[in-house]
Structure 1
Amino acid sequence: MTCRKYIAPLVFCAQVASSFFDTALQMIVKERCANPDRDAEQKAITNFNMTFNMVLKFVPILPAILLAKVGDKGYRRAPIVVPLVGYFLSRGLLLLDILLEWPLQVLYAVPVIHGLCGGFASYWAGVMALVSVSSGEEERSVRIMRTELVYGIAGFIGSLSSGHLFNLYTVDLKQGAILSSFSALLYFLCLLYAAFFLRFDFSELGERQERRESVGIINHEARDRINIALLFVGGILYDIAVAGGMEMLAAYVLKDPLGWGATEVGYGNAAGSLLFITSFLGVKMFTRCSVRDESMVMIGMVSFAAGIYFMAFVTTTPMYFLGITFVMLQLSFKLASLVTTPIYTEIYQATLDTFPGFVFILSSTFTVLSMIPISVVGCRSARHDGYERIQGN
């Protein structure tokens, strides 16, 4: 029996728990930073988010590398189980912060605990590693896409319900306590499942070692140094656009004229989760139409540029969801950036009084710039179409 038959429940449950946490954290930060001066409130929220996200990105680097090495030595559960311990403890800390009314600054410990246990980078890499080594070369990409599809569906369902659960409270339980409790509980169940019930078989691993000359996603022409450099440039520029724009969007929806509450925040996060579903369907469709990889990446970048540019002029909730429709069409990757967060935060705070949507125009501009090197790679690769390298004996 292979892990692919058992990994889906873990991915689904963990992502529902993550959706609960995201909404709870966003609303708790809004409540703790509440201020009659709306500009001061926005600055407090974005300053907290900036520090939180930078710690979240920086701390897991070394632990994730160490866990990857442990996983490579045969302990395949470690890169999954250890991060789940961090998830459970950090989500439990949010619950304690709500119940005991600790200062907001205590929540800075959440990304520290989460990161020291490897964070999302280690967890998701561990999941993908298990799916990969338990799949044949021909079916591997399909299995990976299916896993991401489960991830997206879980995020959509969890986010839709998260806002309603946040608003549930009793005399003894404060608002957000029930939602945070469910998040911690689900992560605890995921931890037990991964530690004691997750099954996988590596018996076929030795039979599926890939030859160096095999044709992969990037063929031998794309291994050219210039192409690699151009892909790095495009990836970095796109990373700046996505990481900065989406992080500021979390604060933007909380201010007037949108002024979202927990329910709307949950719906907004659910719309973002649809990205994985539309990506899965888009890749399947474009693959059948023999669309080149570079073209699919460009389609994703164009859709993100259009959607995030539209966000600059959003003044009502229906307009927001019209803009997020474009964002959901993107088929490319999203990575975090340590440099992007403080830069976008400073720009957003500096333009609060004049044009708070300027950061989204900036994000759209970087997306368009990132398309230039990708276009060059596509043109360079197209020149070699129809030619195949003859392998020597």
Structure 2
Amino acid sequence: MALARTLRKHVEPVVFCAQVASAFFDTGLQMVVKQRCENATSPPDPHKEQNAIANFYMTFNMLAKFIPIIPALLLAQFGDRGYRKVPIVVPLLGYTVSRALLLFVVLLEWRIEVMYAAPVIHGLSGGFSSYWAGIMALVSVSTSEEDRSICIMRTELVYGLAGFIGSLASGHLFQLYTVGMKQGVLLAVMSVALYVFCLLYAVFILQVNRITLERPERRESSSSGIITYSSQDKIIIILLFASGILYDVAVAGGVEILSVYVLKPPLEWSATEVGYGNAAGSLIFITSFLGVKLFTRFTLSDTSMIMIGMVSFMFGIYLMTFVTTTAMYYIARFVMLFALIPMPTIRSLLSKQVRGTSYGMTFICLQLSFRLASLATTPMYTKIYQSTLDTFPGFVFILSSIITFFSLIPVSVVGCRTARQDNYERIQGN
């Protein structure tokens, strides 16, 4: 009973099961798309297959990023009015319905273009933007400012562990034959079943535990003696948004192409190897969490931890440029061991700059800014990859490394400003 009461106050069971379901879906979709593109190319032509797969994912990802914009903003407003579960429950409903489409595509042999309806359905229900912003807002209102960075990173850890487990199992589950001797049916069924569990848990079990006190407005005295609101927060917020957008563009663009890159020679991964590769990516959540614990013990600032994570990804994605074997792929992934530190830490810093009643809107604006930026970068990365496929297919990873370097600039400015501000407050206090 005590364990049940404790779980009711935690969102981690939803995060864990939903990410396992997502890992099942991602591997299943990746392999089904590969199979359909291979069957559509006669005689077999790896170049045409890669172009077809890249074009599918470009359209799929563009829809996933564009459709949720208005619904996510509306759901964030509901969340900030006190209905914190709404931005989580509604997207889970959309995920449940949209993920069922993969089952019908495999079972009834529908055309793969039917899957374009999946991002439309879950996009109209808020999509990942609303879901993850809702999770972050719920965690933020349930923690103090001192513990927030580690709590948000712990949620990311649960997310990563779920992705690791789901990815490891997904490749094997995909190859199991069930109804009509079709691959992928069991995987799709389990994905939908897990989303149904998450939806029921969020609606009937999950409780919102608010312990965050309202953050007082920062004020400063002008030369005339009139007390005015400080502009410090606005500048820091803008810089954090700029750094987060640039970093997300670098990571999302590189990882999206990576899922296509591993399907072509010389790697040419099978379903099992795809699952293992996705699991290796999920391990970064674990190493990033341990990194935050370690760096916090050495009293490193949030901005320092962000920059360490960005440098980790910058070098790792650069090494991915020259990957020609599976062993080299895992070495490049290992270099990215702290790559997940920046985004949760940026969210933590943002939450410390706004009132608790604005968490939902702040986080959804951050998520949507990522989506809007990627509307341009997704086709850009895809077209660059396709144009360099015969000459230098790893060029897009160098591009990600360069963009990551530029994302370091705004956050380093934030570090300088907050250091001066903290020093000023200590002197004033003395």
TM-score normalized with structure 2 length: 0.83
Q: 1:272 offset after TM fit, Å?
A: 1.2
Separation (CA, whole Å) in 2 of partners of 1:167 and 1:108: 24
Partner-residue secondary structure (3-state), 1:372: helix
CA distance in 2, matches of 1:322, 1:80: 36
Matching residue of 2:333: 324
Deviation of residue 99 (structure 1)?
Answer: 0.6
Give the superposition deviation at 1:381. 4.7
Q: 1:74 aligns with which of 82, 86, 100?
A: 82
RMSD (Å) for aligned C-alpha atoms: 2.4
Q: Kindly report which structure 2 residues correspond to 1:231-242, keeping only aligned pairs within 5 A, or say none.
A: 231-242=240-251
| Pairing of 1:121-270 with structure 2 (within 5 A) | 121-170=129-178, 172-202=180-210, 204=211, 208-213=213-218, 223=233, 225=235, 229-270=238-279
Contact 1:3–1:200 (8 Å) recurs in 2: no
Equivalent position of 1:217 in the other structure: none
Distance 1:133 1:232, change over 3 A: closer
CA offsets per residue over residues 177-211 of structure 1, 9 Å max, x none? 11011000110111111122223344x56xx2221
1:333 partnered with 2:338: no
**Alignment of 1:43 onto 2:43:** no
Residue 402 of structure 2 is matched in structure 1 by: 365
Do structure 1's residue 354 and structure 2's residue 391 form an aligned pair?
A: yes
Question: Does the C-alpha gap of structure 1 residues 222 and 286 become closer, same or farther in structure 2, counting only changes over 3 Å?
Answer: farther
Q: Give 3-state SS (helix, strand or coil) of 1:291's partner.
A: coil
Moved more, 64-73 or 154-163: 64-73
Letter in 1 for 2:397: F
Q: Structure 1 CA distance, aligned partners of 2:205 and 2:234?
A: 44
Change (3 A) 1:190 1:173: farther
Q: Do 1:2 and 1:134's aligned partners in 2 also have CA atoms closer than 8 Å?
A: no
**Separation in structure 1 between the aligned mates of residue 323 and residue 168 of structure 2, nearest angstrom:** 21
Q: Distance in 2 between matches of 1:213 and 1:4?
A: 35
Cα distance change of structure 1 residues 133 and 377 upon mapping to structure 2, 3 Å threshold: closer
The answer on whether the counterparts of 1:243 and 1:340 sit within 8 Å (CA) in structure 2 is no
2:381 is equivalent to residue 344 of structure 1: yes
Q: Which moved more, 1:282-291 or 1:176-185?
A: 282-291
| C-alpha distance 3-128 of structure 1, shift in aligned 2 (>3 A) | farther
Q: Mark the CA change 1:169 to 1:362 in structure 2 (over 3 Å): closer, same or farther.
A: same
Distance (whole Å) between structure 1 residues aligned to residue 153 and residue 241 of structure 2? 23
Name the amino acid aligned to 2:135: V
Of 295, 299, 307, 2:308 maps to 299
The change in CA–CA distance for 1:139 and 1:87 in structure 2 (over 3 A counts) is: same
Letter aligned with residue 120 of structure 1:
F
User: How many angstroms apart in 2 are the aligned matches of 1:2 and 1:76?
Assistant: 18
In 1, the alpha carbon distance for the partners of 2:412 and 2:140 equals: 30
Contact kept, 8 Å, 1:4 with 1:131, in 2: the verdict is no
The question of whether the paired residues in 1 share the 8 Å contact of 2:9 and 2:209 is answered with no
CA distance in 1, matches of 2:76, 2:7: 18
Distance in 2 (CA, whole Å) between partners of 1:368 and 1:140 is: 27
Q: Is the 8 A contact 1:77 1:194 kept in 2?
A: yes
Q: Which amino acid aligns with 1:101?
A: E
The number of residue pairs the alignment matches comes to 383
8 Å contact kept, 2:8–2:206: no
Say whether the 8 Å CA contact 1:271–1:328 is kept in structure 2: no
Please state which structure has a larger fraction of its residues in helix: 2
Q: Residues 282 and 79 (structure 1 numbering): CA distance in 2 closer, same or farther, change over 3 Å?
A: same
**Deviations for 1:143-170, whole angstroms, at most 9, x for unmatched residues?**
3232222111111111111111011114
Q: What amino acid is aligned across from residue 181 of structure 1 in structure 2?
A: V
Tell me the distance in 2 between the aligned counterparts of 1:149 and 1:354.
38
Q: CA deviation at 1:377?
A: 4.0
Query: What TM-score results when the alignment is normalised by the length of structure 1?
Result: 0.90
Q: 1:72-105: per-residue Cα shift (whole Å, max 9, x none)?
A: 2332322111111111101101111111111111
8 A contact 2:160–2:285 mirrored in 1? yes
Q: Which amino acid aligns with 1:105?
A: E
- CA distance 1:197–1:294, shift in 2 (3 Å): closer
2:117 aligned residue: 109
Please, which moves more after superposition, 79-88 or 376-385?
376-385
Q: 2:28 aligns with which of 24, 29, 39?
A: 24
Displacement, 1:328? 3.1
SS state of the match for residue 159, structure 1?
A: helix
Contact 2:168 2:276 in 1 (8 A): yes
Is the 2:8–2:205 contact (alpha carbons within 8 Å) kept by the matching residues of 1? no
Identical aligned residues as a percent:
64
Give the residue type in structure 2 aligned to 1:260.
Answer: W
Q: State whether residues 88 and 187 of structure 1, in contact with CA within 8 Å, keep that contact through their aligned partners in structure 2.
A: yes
1:270-281 aligned within 5 A: 270-281=279-290
Query: Equivalents in 2 of 1:196, 1:223: separation in Å?
Result: 38
Query: 2:425 aligns to what SS in structure 1?
Result: coil
Distance 2:201 2:252 in 1: 32
Deviation of the 1:322 alpha carbon: 0.7
